[in-house]
Amino acid sequence: MSSSDAEFLHPQFWTAGRGPNRYQWTCSACKDNKWRDERSARRHEKQQSHKSNIEYLLTRSPSPQPEVAGPLLELLRDLSQPDSMAAHASEHLHPHALTDPAPFDEPPEPQTFELDWDAVDHDELMPPSIGEASVATLATGLADWLARGGEPNGSDESDAGIEQELAGEYEPNPLLQGSQRAPQRSVPAEDPDWFPWLDKETCILDILRHLPRSLFSDAQMQVILWGLSVLGVDNLPSTGVLKNLDETLQHKYGIESVRCQGPLGHVYYVNHLPSIIAQEISNPRIRPHITHYPEDAGQHLSQPWQASRWLNEIDPSLATPMIRVRHQDYYVFEPAKLTDGSIIIPERWYTKVSGVGSTRHEEFWARAWRAQPVASDDGYRGYLVDENMSFDIAAHELLLSFPNLVETYHVDNLPDPRQIIGVLHGAGVTPWNRTDPAVGNRWRSLARGHRVLSYMMWLYCDDTSGNVSKKWNKHNSFLFTSAESNIHFLATSNIAPPLEMLDGIVTQLEDAQTHGIWAWDVVAKEMVLIIPAVLAVLGDNPMQSELACHVGLQGKYFCRNCWVKGHEAPEKDSVPSANHAGDENSVNSESENSVQGEASGVKAKGRRKETMQELVDRARRFLGVRLSLLSHS
């Protein structure tokens, strides 16, 4: 091995090449039979597989086997050191200085002290001479020459290279390809820094294969792999490995497309909505920006969760049904006990911001109903929920949740919270049908101790008029977004109308609202149950009219919110009655007027004048709509 082996981290596991593999090394730890130059060998030492093999070999055999060299090479190495060379010279010049063992059968003679000046090695006391140092240098060069396999590497080659470079005939060094990845018969070790890919090289190449609108074929990927190999990149996977990895990743982490057939018979595909939502909750870049509770900000309005739609109008069963306070889960439509001893039933949860500056923090609040105990001669019979008036209560005033209240109600001499007689309205008492009073909120049993959160999203639909290959290729697409970061694609079709595609999306949405979506909360580091809900449907006027089954811009009353209308259509001439059927003059006059109207292209009659009664009715309708809008605002 050459002197540059000392620069390796573990030179004992590198074997120097000879002949055509001169100036190259192969790794005896990995046993891949690949010859590498010094740069590739150093890169190979940084690979995780090489480090694992080295660690295994070092723990199994702490001391590597000594190198076996020929006698000529050992002699030259000894001669390359001046001290050793002087020792050899002393051995040959003074053989009597070596004490031979005495024969066994002869008795030893008495020894006397005698100093032999000829046996003293005077070279050990003085540095080697110039001649001896020259001989040692020649011996070192000869030893290196034998270690390289006897190939010439003298000054002749250097002089020839300089002459070729000066003559303009210099040839660059041949391209050295990077080391190929050894075929893996088992699953290779994964690099945790590049999970779910195996390593950095596989991650980069897999991203290149899935660039939007720039898909590479297998032949193009082979050209890319060849170029990277020529540039010296090691551990490159093959196209087969990339395909297998793609199938594995799609099966584990991909989004499935569900085949749907609408009521009109059209076939279309919808991406799996629960999988997309689960990935959003587990995304560390998106999850911190997702809001699950509305906020009562008073007169301030800058975010959608501060508006009345989320705070007051949305169905409470689709909003977040629970909060966790002091290790207790409080659900809506379940009896809960306050610190003052009264029983309430929360309707919805929201947040309020209190404090200023560094003391600013969010606090949970509940909008709740009173639960009035109903007693009889035999004792308490249950509770009557008063929904005539709701009130707001802070979360820190909650004392016992429904399960704890069931265990302690008899101690406090209260009715059984599982007995809800009915609901008190202005018209009377009606049965309680929001939950099963004996079980409580159904999300409690589905969550099994985990948190339940709502996921509000904005659904969007619009038509795309054309593409590059065709002049006109109209198709409708559905998309949605939550935190205004990722716009997720759901479905598209150029044959199925929007309402038919919406049927497949609603099917997935209703199933998720019934059973929930399990997802990993990357912020809370726990599994949560998600309830998806559509906060708003976005779109332009024509698309909104189509989704609302409205006549659209072609109608007289083209707006869906107010009574604005377009111009009056020209009225057709009334059909003559039977009394005037024989009046030839009137028939002739109408025929002449119709012929003149068709020839001139102008209307036969102008806009009809509005009567006083019609004006009053129109003003009354307008004022009535305005008053109703003002009362709701």
The 10s digit of each residue's pLDDT in 140-164 is 777 666 666 555 544 444 455 445 4
Q: What local confidence, expressed as pLDDT, does residue 486 receive?
A: 85
Question: Residues 542-571, buried b or exposed e (16+ Cβ, 10 A)?
Answer: ebebbeeebeeeeeeeeeeeeeeeeeeeee
Measured distance CA(268)–CA(215) in Å, rounded: 24
Helix 38-45 crosses helix 48-60 at what angle (to 10 degrees)? 80
Q: Which of 525, 543, 390 is nearest to 462 (CA)?
A: 543
What does the domain layout of the chain look like in residue ranges?
3-60, 192-253, 257-288+453-547, 322-440, 556-569+613-633
Q: What is the dihedral of CA 582, 583, 587, 593, to 10 degrees?
A: -170
Measured distance CA(403)–CA(445) in Å, rounded: 12
The 10s digit of each residue's pLDDT in 93-121 is 444 444 444 444 455 555 555 555 555 55
- What mean pLDDT comes out for the span 509-532? 96
Q: What local confidence, expressed as pLDDT, does residue 56 receive?
A: 80
- What mean pLDDT comes out for the span 419-433? 89
Q: What local confidence, expressed as pLDDT, does residue 369 receive?
A: 95
Distance of CA 303 to the CA centre of its chain: 25
Angle at 145 between CA 139 and CA 151, to 5 degrees: 155
The yes-or-no verdict on residue 576 having pLDDT over 60 is: no
* Half-sphere exposure in the Cβ direction for 553 (13 Å, CA): 5
Q: What local confidence, expressed as pLDDT, does residue 594 receive?
A: 46
Q: What local confidence, expressed as pLDDT, does residue 151 receive?
A: 54
The yes-or-no verdict on residue 36 having pLDDT over 50 is: yes
Measured distance CA(523)–CA(98) in Å, rounded: 82
For the sheet with 420-424, list strands across it: 398-400, 336-338, 343-354, 361-376, 379-394, 420-424, 429-430
Phi, psi of 357 (to 5 degrees): 70, -125
Measured distance CA(132)–CA(79) in Å, rounded: 10
Give the chain's mean pLDDT. 78
Measured distance CA(360)–CA(107) in Å, rounded: 106
The yes-or-no verdict on residue 325 having pLDDT over 50 is: yes
Q: What local confidence, expressed as pLDDT, does residue 147 receive?
A: 65
Measured distance CA(368)–CA(383) in Å, rounded: 15
Lowest mean pLDDT among 341-345, 359-363, 444-448: 359-363
Residues, the chain, total? 633
Residue 40, H or E segment = helix 38-45
Measured distance CA(545)–CA(461) in Å, rounded: 12
More confident residue, 31 or 515: 515
Contact 347, 316 (CB under 8 A): yes
Tokens for 284, please give them.
């560390």
Phi-psi region of 232 (alpha: psi -120 to 50; beta: other; left: phi over 0): left
The 10s digit of each residue's pLDDT in 457-471 is 999 998 876 556 656
More confident residue, 57 or 145: 57
> How distant, in Å, are the alpha carbons of 47, 571, 576, 589, 595 from that of 603?
87, 10, 20, 16, 12
Q: What local confidence, expressed as pLDDT, does residue 21 receive?
A: 79
* Half-sphere exposure in the Cβ direction for 550 (13 Å, CA): 17
Distance of CA 604 to the CA centre of its chain: 67
Q: Highest mean pLDDT range out of 81-85, 126-130, 242-246, 624-628?
A: 242-246
Q: Which of 25, 38, 35, 22 is nearest to 151 (CA)?
A: 22
Total Cβ atoms within 10 A of residue 608: 10
Q: What local confidence, expressed as pLDDT, does residue 99 receive?
A: 45
